Structure 1
Amino acid sequence: MSDVKDSNGNVLKDGDSVTLIRDLKVKGTSVTLKRGTLVKNIRLTGSEDEIECNAEKVKGLVLRTEFLKKA
């Protein structure tokens, strides 16, 4: 599996913290995650473009790495 990288090309690992670089609407909910939101303790998935995390009231969220930067 190749390295999972954030929007700036930094390598991400399990347990890292990331910050959102734009507002993201969460499908299936009325929640919008704001730009600058810190997401802690991420988990890598089988895809190099996605990570799993738990953020504010939303558990088991999958985020695309193009919207993240390493904190």
Structure 2
Amino acid sequence: MSTRWCAQPIASHDRDQETEMTDETAKPKDSNGTILDEGDSVTLIKDLKVKGTSVTLKRGTLIKNIRLTDDEALIECNAEKVKGLVLRTEFLKKA
């Protein structure tokens, strides 16, 4: 979120309108800029090592039924080898 500088303070009703607009536009996007929705399938675009395990998810792995999080840069999912996985959207493309 970028800091916005202005000479005069913003009225509270203006702030409410600004947060509503940013909530609508704050949708998670994949590496190509395609908007991701709940339940979509995605493909990995890079080999990823999973922290805490010896598993490496290979490029091209299909991950089905993603769940969105509060952070637009992260999604939750289950891969074949790892359950309860959190992935960054910059390493995904919509399938």
For the aligned pair, the TM-score class normalised by the smaller chain equals over 0.9
Q: Distance in 2 between matches of 1:34 and 1:44?
A: 22
Instruction: Indicate the SS of the match to 1:4.
Output: coil
Alignment partner, residue 48 of structure 1: 72
Alignment partner, residue 34 of structure 1: 58
Whether 1:18 and 2:42 are equivalent positions in the alignment is yes
Name the structure with the higher helix share: 2
- TM-score, normalised via structure 2 length: 0.73
Where has structure 1 moved over 6 Å in runs of 4 or more? none
Across the two proteins, how many residue pairs are aligned to each other? Answer: 71
Task: Work out which of the two has the higher radius of gyration on C-alpha atoms and give 1 or 2.
Answer: 2
Task: Name structure 1 gaps, 5 residues minimum.
Answer: none
Match of 1:59 among 62, 77, 83: 83
- Percent identity between matched residues is 80
Q: Which has the higher contact order (CA 8 A, sep 6+)?
A: 1
